Amino acid sequence: MSRAVKRAFRYRFYPSPGQAAELARTFGCVRKVYNLALSARTEAWTLRQERVSYNATSALLTGWKKTEELAFLNEVSCVPLQQALRHLQVAFTNFFAKRARYPRFKSRKRSPKSAEYTASGFRYRDGLLTLAKMTEPLAMVWSRPLPEGVSPSTVTISQDPAGRWFVSLLCDDVIGETTAGGAVGVDAGLDHLLTLNTGEKIANPRHERADRERLARAQRNLARKEKGSRNRAKARLEVARIHARIADRRRDHLHKLTTRLVRDNQTIVIEDLTVRNMVKNHRLARAISDAAWRQFRTMVEYKAEWHGRDVVVVDRWFPSSKLCSVCGALAETMPLNVRSWTCRCGIVHDRDVNAARNILAEGLSVAACGAGGRPQRESSRMRQPVMKQETRRVTAGVLRL
């Protein structure tokens, strides 16, 4: 059985000076249109309690292009400008549905630089991609081929803080669904990045710690430079490159881990960790951020959706570490420095392996019995009040992907 999915294939490319200038103008115009539309919608609601739709902002864009002050908007392709208005509409939709905060203005220095082109804004033929307002195709580095017979429906151009250029091709791909036996329980940690119920422990590479001295030296060098100088711009670029190196290595490692878990197991049981609250512990915040547990969960979920796997999420309050996986006895306390403990039944437990086994057992029982419900991912993002201790219940849920 096969399923149709949308997949994005990301490649690096090297623009010519003319293409780089054109894309830089496009980024600026996209940011300008987004901020103008956001300002108009905010003003309409504040003064007149009126909601401005996407169609209304599109009409405003036509009027802006006719003014002398904003005539430069005609110099770039209109497709990314329209897409910026659509993105703003999605942001407001998520806000009114209480899935996100109120949209914020884009900053020239801090906001990501990107522009999205739909089918009318680019031409893709024989492996050559040419954007609107350009005469030459992009010099792309094809690190992997697109699936046979697949053409992109949307193209997104971006530039990261390190100055690297990327193109993301969104394609409608068909993935053959495969079957795999067994289930795995996964416990996330810091000493070991992942611990499986089988007893296997996957080391935590600690990418940020490996480059910490180099990063600190580059940041000190940046702090010494005069603001607005060319030397400061060079120093900032060096800091950004180190951050990019750390992020790239971390992402690559997580991709390999999650692909292996999804390929080898039909059911994957993980724990619902509130990383937003956990990083408030200033002693562990840096290590938790480096482990990227949220990114790991995101990768597992979308890859499981592609391949027809089950992802079970166990509630964050489930006492996986304190519960004996053999007799079911619950220990009173379990400080973080205790890595092994002896149950009253005489079994000596490795803290992480025992937690992974309990996570697997809890997830399978809930999946079989249908008890409880999957925790809402939005609850921690919207900072909803935490339930009192007496009202907390151990719940879990299965996400059929």
Which residues are marked as active site?
Answer: 187, 271, 352
**Tokens found for residue 121:** 């804004």
Determine the Cα–Cα distance for residues 156 and 179; give it in Å rounded to an integer. Answer: 33
- Measure the CA–CA gap between 119 and 67, rounded to whole angstroms: 28
Alpha helix ranges (H) inside 265-339: 275-278, 285-291, 293-307
Q: Is 68 helix (H, G, I), strand (E, B) or coil?
A: coil
Helix (H) / strand (E) element for 41: namely: helix 17-48
Distance, CA of 363 to CA of 315 (rounded, Å): 9
Chain-centroid distance of CA 358 in Å reads 28
Report the interhelical angle of 212-224 vs 230-264 (nearest 10°): 150
Which residues lie across from 11 on neighbouring strands? 167
Are 390 and 380 spatial neighbours (Cβ–Cβ below 8 Å)? no
Distance between CA atoms of residues 195 and 293, nearest Å: 13
The residue behind tokens 């070991």 is 192
In degrees, to the nearest 5, what angle opens at C-alpha 384 toward C-alphas 378 and 386?
115
**Closest listed residue to residue 271, CA positions, set 184, 157, 209:** 184
User: Measured between alpha carbons, how far is 399 from 380 in angstroms, rounded to an integer?
Assistant: 18
Q: Among residues 105, 87, 257, 208, which one has the least CA distance to residue 156? A: 87
Q: Are 37 and 55 in contact (CB under 8 A)?
A: no
- According to DSSP, the residues that pair with 400 across neighbouring strands are 310
User: How far apart are the two ends of the chain, measured CA to CA in Å?
Assistant: 14
